[in-house]
Amino acid sequence: MNQLRRPIEFVKDRLGFETLIKPLDHNAPPETTEGKSQWAYIFGFGILFSFLLQITTGIVLATNYVPSPESAYQSVEFITYEVRFGDTIRAMHWIGASAMVILVLIHAMRVFLTASYKYPREFNWISGVVLLYLTFGMALSGQLLRWDQDGVWTVMVAANFAGRVPFVGEHIAQFVLAGETVSGSTLTQTYALHVFILPIAMVLLIGLHLFLVTYHGISELPKAGKPVNPETYRQEYEEYVEKHQRPYWPQGIWNELFFGGLVVTIIVSLAFFLGPRDLAASPDLTDLDSQPQPDWFIVWYYALISIKPQGYEEVFLVYLPLGFFLFLLILPLIAGKGERHPSKRPFAILGLSVVAGLFIMLTVVGLRAPWVPAYDTEPLQAEQLGTQDERILEGARVFHERGCQYCHQVHGVGGDWGPDLTEVSTRMGPEQIAVRTVQGIGNMPAYQDILTTEEVDLLVEFLTEVDELGPRARE
Ligand code: HEC
């Protein structure tokens, strides 16, 4: 026995183990001793464990992934079909990402419900909100790395959102795309974000978050009629925790470790049985015959795009989401004291229900709506255009065939992703139209490798003359 203890003591002593676990060695609120268990507090550990799992599977994926536009899609196929356990690892990374998003949302809701963001834990909440955004950033950037249609479209939505932000929008959009349009640089920059910049930021912030949790102690469950008063709170908390003498380590941490283990077990089993997310078609934006579908956690935003009332796009797509994100960030600064119990905060609970309800409703709407606005439009016909000119009609066919019509309306037919092109000839000359079409800009894909010179000519001719056609020609 002594033989065994000595090396353990040696390691403990030389590593400073006692000091290492010191932060855990404090008294925790005594929910269990009063007969109530403290299962409300387990979600943070679930997140931590799934994050560690993401890092592990992410490293395995990164060793086989090639972040270049020519090879990215094939390398994901290679991982899925050729690498040993590659499909399970991919599935773990994908299901783990979803699990993390879900757990982060639940954790945030729990903290909101128990109002644990109030004094003195304001920065616990603020660092947590930033972590929430970083988690979404990881999920979004990860999608693009598949470099299939779904991922590429999602990033176009992100750029579209960013581009509408007042003043700085264009710069943000250019930053997101690493240029004027989706290209190879978008992929390499997103790769750097996904494997270096965002994870490092997350590790640092998780460190701060955990430090703050141990520094302030876990919040006690709220009691109605016992508001937070900054003058007396700390002392009362100390006394309360002292009285019950329940050390966090090792008693308090038990349920949390159990839950963390459970989360990992569920992710691994689901990955094993369900397999990875199907790869969508490779990202040829002009070949939209398969319906691209974004990953579920961003579907709500797409739903906003498809139901937004005409004329209020900015409000719905930019100001409301942005306002909500800012509100979350500063919440503890505007509501840092007072009642914590849900029964004394009816408006907070109402607000939470509305937001959660909207999220679910929009997700359902978004999952049903087609991702690209106008999929099922037909090319404009001779009767609609009021012309028999062969070249114009050919141009209308190319406009439809090459996917322009999915995004652009002409005489009321087509999608509203991009600007209406009926009167484009009043805004730009033929040269400019050709340049736009070939080079793309913002959410307008570049067509230079896709269209033949003849097709560009047909499109330009069609677009310069179309204003005079249609209803006007029929008059
Ligand atoms: C994925 C959706 C999408 C597709 C497909 C698409 N466009 Fe666009 N297009 C846009 C968007 C978005 C803009 C606005 C870009 C900006 O100014 O930021 C745009 C802008 C333009 C403009 C400039 C219009 C103006 O008023 O500024 C022209 C011309 C144009 N597109 C032509 C075409 C043609 C021709 C095709 C087919 C070969 C096409 N587009 C396919 C989304 C698309």
Summarize pLDDT for 320-353 with one digit per residue, the tens.
888 999 999 999 999 988 899 999 999 999 999 9
Domain assignment of residue 18, yes or no? no
Domain CATH number, residue 415: 1.10.760.10
196: pLDDT strictly greater than 90: yes
Task: Kindly state the tokens that stand for 373.
Answer: 């606005």
Angle at 146 between CA 54 and CA 138, to 5 degrees: 40
**376 within some domain:** no
Residues 439 and 417 in one domain: yes
Average pLDDT, the chain: 84
pLDDT value at position 222?
A: 85
| 183 and 323 fall within a common domain | yes
Q: Is residue 265 situated within a structural domain?
A: yes
pLDDT digits (tens, 9 = 90+) for 113-145: 999 999 999 999 999 999 999 999 999 899 889
pLDDT exceeds 80 at position 273 = yes
Q: Which helix (H) or strand (E) holds 160?
A: helix 149-164
* 267 in contact with ligand 1, CB cutoff 6 A: no
Is 436 near ligand 1, meaning CB less than 6 Å away?
yes
Using a 6 Å cutoff on CB, does residue 433 contact ligand 1? yes
For the CA of 455, the closest atom of ligand 1 is 38
Co-location of 155 and 214 in the same domain: yes
User: What is the percent of the chain with per-residue pLDDT over 90, rounded to a whole number?
Assistant: 41
Q: Residue 414 region, left (φ>0) first, then alpha (ψ -120 to 50), else beta?
A: left
360 shares its domain with 432: no
Identify the bridge partners of residue 27 per DSSP, sorted by sequence position. 247
Q: How confident is the model at residue 291 (pLDDT cuts 50, 70, 90)?
A: low
Mean pLDDT, rounded, for 297-307 = 79
Whether residue 425 is found in the same domain as residue 346: no
Task: Supply the pLDDT for residue 53.
Answer: 97
Q: What region does 419 belong to: left with phi over 0, alpha with psi -120 to 50, or beta?
A: beta
Q: What is the largest CA-CA distance in the chain?
A: 103
3-state secondary structure (DSSP) of residue 393? helix
- Whole-number Å distance, alpha carbon 394 to ligand 1 midpoint, is 19
148 domain residue, yes or no: yes
Residues 298 and 181 in one domain: yes
The pLDDT score that the predictor gives to residue 32 is 45
Q: What's the Cα-to-Cα distance from 125 to each of 120, 122, 166, 268, 280, rounded to whole Å? A: 10, 5, 27, 30, 37
Question: In terms of domains, do 361 and 405 share one?
Answer: no
In a domain, 110, yes or no: yes
Are 85 and 134 spatial neighbours (Cβ–Cβ below 8 Å)? Answer: no
User: Token match 């090792």: residue?
Assistant: 250
- Residue 35: pLDDT band with limits 50, 70, 90: very low
Residue 433 has a pLDDT of 93
* Ligand 1 atom with minimal separation from the 451 CA: 38
Is residue 5 situated within a structural domain?
A: no
Place 375 in a pLDDT band, splitting at 50, 70 and 90.
low
What's the pLDDT at 326?
A: 94
445 in contact with ligand 1, CB cutoff 6 A = yes
**Helix, strand, coil abundance in the chain, percent, nearest 5:** 65, 0, 30
Tokens encoding 254: 């038990």
Q: Give bridge partners of residue 441 from the DSSP assignment.
A: 444
What pLDDT, on a 0 to 100 scale, did the predictor assign at position 308? 62
pLDDT over 70 at 445, yes or no? no
Which has the minimum average pLDDT: 282-291, 308-317, 351-360?
A: 282-291
- At residue 442, the pLDDT reads 61
Q: Which residue, 342, 368, 394, sits at the end of a domain?
A: 368
Residue 1 lies in a domain: no
Q: Which atom of ligand 1 is nearest to the CA of 427?
A: 26
Position 405 scores a pLDDT of 84
Residues 325 and 409 occupy one common structural domain: no
> Which atom of ligand 1 lies nearest, measured to the CA of 173?
18
Using CA positions, which residue lies closest to atom 41 of ligand 1? 404
- pLDDT at 31 exceeding the cut of 70: no
What average pLDDT does range 393-403 have in this prediction?
87
Ligand 1 centre to CA of 407 (Å) is 7
Q: Phi/psi of residue 338, each to 5°?
A: 95, -165
- The answer to whether the beta carbons of residues 227 and 339 sit under 8 Å apart is yes
Q: What is the CATH number of the domain that holds 41?
A: 1.20.810.10
- DSSP at 115: T
| C-alpha span between 396 and 463 (Å, rounded) | 9
**The two three-digit tokens of residue 414, written as one number:** 């087509």
Query: If pLDDT is split at 50, 70 and 90, which confidence band does 408 have?
Result: confident
Residue 204 CA to residue 428 CA, distance in Å, equals 49
Question: In terms of C-beta density within 10 A (0-12 exposed, 13-18 middle, 19 or more buried), how is residue 19 classed?
Answer: exposed
The domain boundary residue, chosen from 326, 343, 368: 368
Query: Domains in the chain: how many in total?
Result: 2
**Percent over 70 (pLDDT), the chain:** 86
Residues 326 and 361 in one domain: yes
pLDDT surpasses 70 at 274: yes
The verdict on residue 433 lying in a domain is yes
- Residue 464's nearest CA partner among 380, 392, 367, 363 is 392
Give the pLDDT confidence score for residue 195 in this predicted structure. Answer: 96
CA dist 101 → 106, 131, 139, 290 (Å)? 9, 11, 8, 27
Question: pLDDT by residue (tens digit) across 308-324?
Answer: 666 676 787 778 888 99
φ, ψ for residue 441, nearest 5 deg: -165, 145
**Whether residues 190 and 90 fall in one domain:** yes
364 and 386 fall within a common domain = no
* Contact status, residue 124 vs residue 116, Cβ threshold 8 Å: yes
Average pLDDT in the 3-27 region? 78
Domain match, 84 and 205 both: yes
d(CA 72, CA 166): 34
Q: Residue 248's domain spans which residues?
A: 37-368
In this prediction, residue 370 carries a pLDDT of: 58
Final residue before a domain boundary, out of 368, 393, 409? 368
- Return the minimum-mean-pLDDT range out of 91-105, 175-189, 354-368: 175-189
Q: Helix 169-177 crosses helix 184-192 at what angle (to 10 degrees)?
A: 90
